Amino acid sequence: MSDTVTDSRLDEDDSELKRSITGRLLFFYTLGDVLGSGIYVLIGLVAAAVGGAFWIAFALGVAVAAITGAAYAELVTKYPQAAGASLYVNKAFGSRPLTFLITVSFLAASMAASGSLATGFASYFSELWAAPPALLVSLVFVAILVVVNYIGITESVVINMLMTFVEAAGLVIVMIIGIVFIAQGNADFGVLTKIDTGGDYSSPALAVLAGISFSFFAMTGFENTVNVAEETIEPYKAFPRSLVGGMIVAGLVYVLVSMAAALTVPVDTLAGSDAALLEVVKAGILPFSTDLMATIFSIIALVAITNTTLVTIVTQPRILYGMAREDVVPGIFAKIHPTRRSPWVGLIFSGVVVGLLLIIGTAVTASGGGIDLVGRLATVTVVLLLAIYALVIVSCLKLGGQDEHDEFFHANRPLLFVGLIGNLAILGFTIYDDPHSLIWCAGLLAIGGVLFVAEQLFGSKGTGSNTPDLDDVKGV
């Protein structure tokens, strides 16, 4: 690895991926992924853990996530390549086993997130049409997004931006309902300070920590953004504003939506619902037909979940693409479609794995396994990503002073230490609260292990890629 600015950048022609994402598209790509990935699905769990003050869990969770996003922003402006966290850890520690573990963990987290969101999609879909089996709806949903991704990254990101406006509109509706309720003089602001310690947690601090753990799935998604670095125009300018700015806007929306929900609907009602925000719409505060509003909001929620799932499916084949270029998984995953310029083999493989995850999870649930598939897969995602986030922050701190140039973004060091402590605290509590999630984590990580063994046994070293080794690959 060279310390010169020249070696940390790339000519556009060095990447086989198509560079077409503007800074504006990147901002909405980040915002849309974060906004759609949990506030519609898991808000009831957060309310159940904390009580009326569950907005605090969202505020603290997004603060930790935004600090982590700042670390990503610094590193991606130093090394604007598609490898993301794997590249950063490799640059910091130079350990191929650790780099491989991080890469497979990120891939596993993305697949678990896709499964959780696809299951959540089926739940909202049943509000509109209950006839099709939930598993079938989930599988068809994933298959459609695979096709959209195959068509191309530009089309995927444009669709993402359009869906971001729709999902944001749903959250705006919830905030408007809250404003109208307050204007009517019916709001009890005292509920916003109440923390429920009468449930499974013995102190307010533990209740809030539990809420952060449940809500953190809604904070994830920003890490997907750096994996399109090789397809972004002027990444040095685009990433800091899009990554950090998107997180700040998402955090503000989360806090306001949480307050509106707590003020307008009893916390027990929110806690007992699989679609808690729909309960706000059904409260009948706006002067419109409740049934009509519920239908419209269900459609908006489906769009929001689609948006986030699209981004996770965009990410998975690109991780496999990067791993194949480094000869750690079979070289077939490095294949790019000659006209669509998409990593089509990795895309098909990812879709199949997510489908199998849904089938297995549904079978376990049906057999009396005693799990909530949405919650379990969300927990698996959070456990894997929190470990990655912590290592990314450590990598950012370790790489301070290296490969710096005039255009790179510099994250605040004291804040990075706060973010590191926050990630580790949430990770420790999440594992303590749901230790069985580690079994699911291990199962997903085993997929990467199988691919690695296949490459070692049957692959041809140096032929799986047309690009140099990870340490020698130039930035985009």
Between 18-27, 33-42, 341-350, 466-475, the lowest mean confidence (pLDDT) is in: 466-475
466 pLDDT exceeds 50?
A: no
Q: What is the pLDDT of residue 373?
A: 80
Answer positive or negative: Cα dihedral of 450, 217, 315, 355: positive
Neighbours of 338 (CB within 10 A): 7
Q: Where are the alpha helices (DSSP H) in 17-95?
A: 23-35, 43-50, 55-78, 85-93
Alpha carbons 204 and 196: distance in angstroms, whole number: 7
Strand partners, 21: 232
Whether 65 maps to a domain, the answer reads yes
Look up tokens 């697949």; give the residue: 111
Alpha carbons 255 and 191: distance in angstroms, whole number: 14
Pseudo-torsion of CA 113, 418, 235, 316, nearest 10°? -20
Whether 475 maps to a domain, the answer reads no
Alpha carbons 52 and 193: distance in angstroms, whole number: 7
Whether 465 maps to a domain, the answer reads no
Nearest CA among 399, 456, 397 for reference residue 421: 397
Residues present in the chain in total:
476
Whether 399 maps to a domain, the answer reads yes
Alpha carbons 58 and 158: distance in angstroms, whole number: 28
Alpha carbons 329 and 250: distance in angstroms, whole number: 35
Nearest CA among 400, 423, 453, 459 for reference residue 64: 423
How many domains are there within the chain?
Answer: 1
Look up tokens 């999440």; give the residue: 430
Span 113-120, mean pLDDT?
88
471 pLDDT exceeds 50?
A: no
Q: For the chain, what percent of residues have pLDDT higher than 90?
A: 29
Whether 468 maps to a domain, the answer reads no
3-state secondary structure of 21: strand
pLDDT tens for 65-107 read: 989 989 998 998 888 776 678 888 988 998 878 888 888 898 8
Confidence band (pLDDT; 50, 70, 90) for 108? very high
Span 442-446, mean pLDDT?
92
Alpha carbons 206 and 150: distance in angstroms, whole number: 44
Alpha carbons 164 and 312: distance in angstroms, whole number: 15
Whether 464 maps to a domain, the answer reads no
Residue 252 identity: L
pLDDT tens for 312-351 read: 888 788 888 877 877 778 888 888 877 767 788 888 999 9
CATH of the domain at 324: 1.20.1740.10
pLDDT tens for 423-442 read: 999 999 999 988 989 999 99
Chain-centroid distance of CA 183 in Å reads 35
Whether 476 maps to a domain, the answer reads no
Alpha carbons 347 and 103: distance in angstroms, whole number: 16
Nearest CA among 143, 126, 163 for reference residue 303: 163
Q: Which domain holds residue 253?
A: 6-458
Query: Quick check: 232 and 16 in contact, CB under 8 A?
Result: no
Whether 317 maps to a domain, the answer reads yes
pLDDT tens for 175-197 read: 999 999 999 998 999 999 999 86
